[in-house]
Amino acid sequence: MSGRPDTDMEVRAHADHHASLRLWLRLLSATTRIEDTIRQRLREQFGITLPRFDLMAQLEREPKGLSMGELSRRMMVTGGNVTSIVDQLEKEQLVQRQPQPGDRRAYAVHLTPAGREAFSSMAIAHESWIVELLSPLATQQQEQLFQLLATLKTGKASSVKPVQ
Amino acid sequence: MSGRPDTDMEVRAHADHHASLRLWLRLLSATTRIEDTIRQRLREQFGITLPRFDLMAQLEREPKGLSMGELSRRMMVTGGNVTSIVDQLEKEQLVQRQPQPGDRRAYAVHLTPAGREAFSSMAIAHESWIVELLSPLATQQQEQLFQLLATLKTGKASSVKPVQ
DNA sequence: TATTGTTATACTCTATAACTATA
DNA sequence: TATAGTTATAGAGTATAACAATA
């Protein structure tokens, strides 16, 4: 902001900033491309949307079922949306609301046998699509990527070091 | 599918498949977390949505403007959506439709001076958010990630090698 | 006839807020 | 009073298809 001339560090910092932006755009487009493909195939081949698939995936890991509130937290969407997705899945008899002994306000949502079976075939297809779409990367590269992303996963960003 | 026992290769392939799935889930959640943060900050601090920001970003790179069709291709959405986004931005006088000499069906959309100024401050903030959100990765790690993602960018997946 | 862009429609996902029933 | 879940509403983004104007 002052009138003093650029130092090497400042030039370098600007270059790093642009590099971060380019990295982000590449990260976003690669991820979006894969996600869109998955979304489209789930719709075409199984007539299901990604949020519905994700909700079923949550339930599949929890045979005892999950409360609406827990589903809302795990899927990071507000309660009303969970109600609507569960309504749809229940209409197709893929999930079921089950009374919760001890609290008559709440209940456990779980997969029906038909839901479990349907999810199983979808999950197999889903995994094979992922394998296919990530196949440009060799196993070792995938491991590298996995490690790098671990740092980004939590969102506990170290603060940006100011340029000296 | 046959009844023959697992070989080491098959066990290894299954492990790789699960590793790919875990990698995908991590890639998706890291990207989504950053994207949601950006989306939220753009809305809170500038009252703009991501698609609108993206459309302005496309125009900023093309001082001569872009046709609706070209915007549609670049943003990978169908024409009707571009019409609606441009309508909104034009109502706020951030972009303008300009008659195209030589083809009276088409016109060039470009940023207005106000749009250019507004985009400029948004872009500066946007870039600093990206730098912040990617800061858990050191510069060198960001370069590594950038290289790895190059392989995924195009979507030209080599086919999955069948298990021998 | 083909292309550019608009309009109309419908659907999904999303958030917010008011609401009911139970704790 | 607080919590679990529902309902109602509104808004954004998306696709599809029919349409008008121009090439």
CA–CA distance from B32 to each of A151, B27, B75, B116, B118 (Å)?
15, 8, 18, 28, 26
| Nearest-nucleotide field for B100 (CA, C1') | C4
Asked if the Cβ of residue A103 lies within 7 A of any atom of strand D, the reply is yes
> Which residue's CA shows the smallest distance to C1' of D22?
B105
Confidence at residue B7, expressed as pLDDT on a 0 to 100 scale: 55
How many Cβ pairs within 8 Å bridge chains A and B? 145
A2: pLDDT strictly greater than 90:
no
Query: Tokens standing for B10?
Result: 């098959």
CB under 8 Å to A22, separation ≥6 — which residues?
A: B146
B-chain residue closest to A126, CA distance: B21
| Nearest-nucleotide field for A78 (CA, C1') | C15
Residue of A16, A25, A26, A27 to mutate, interface with B, max B Cβ within 10 Å: A27
Q: Percent of chain A, pLDDT > 90? A: 80
Residue B79: which of B67, B93, B96 has the closest Cα?
Answer: B67
Residue A24: which of B15, B96, B32, B64 has the closest Cα?
Answer: B32
CA–CA distance from B12 to each of A34, A83, A110, B1, B158 (Å)?
24, 40, 32, 16, 20
Q: What is the pTM of this model?
A: 0.86
A22: pLDDT strictly greater than 80:
yes
d(CA B85, CA A123): 36
Count CB neighbours of B133 within 10 A.
Answer: 21
CB contact under 8 A, A157 and B141: no
A65: pLDDT strictly greater than 80:
yes
CB contact under 8 A, B19 and A143: yes
CB contact under 8 A, A137 and B152: yes
Asked if the Cβ of residue B85 lies within 7 A of any atom of strand D, the reply is yes
d(CA B69, CA B60): 17
Residue A55: which of A33, A72, A42, A79 has the closest Cα?
Answer: A72
Asked if the Cβ of residue A67 lies within 7 A of any atom of strand D, the reply is yes
Residue of A1, A37, A143, A152 to mutate, interface with B, max B Cβ within 10 Å: A152
Q: How many C-alpha atoms does B16 have within 13 Å on its Cβ side?
A: 21
Contacts of B61 in chain A (CB under 8 A): none
d(CA B143, CA A44): 37
Residue B27: which of A31, A18, A97 has the closest Cα?
Answer: A31
d(CA A43, CA B51): 23
Confidence at residue B14, expressed as pLDDT on a 0 to 100 scale: 72
> Which residue's CA shows the smallest distance to C1' of D3?
A105
Tens place of pLDDT per residue across chain B (164 aa): 444 444 555 566 777 779 999 999 999 999 999 999 999 999 999 999 999 999 999 999 999 999 999 999 999 999 999 999 999 999 999 999 999 999 999 999 999 999 999 999 999 999 999 999 999 999 999 999 999 999 987 654 443 333 33
Name residue, tokens 């306000």.
Answer: A105
Asked if the Cβ of residue A99 lies within 7 A of any atom of strand D, the reply is no
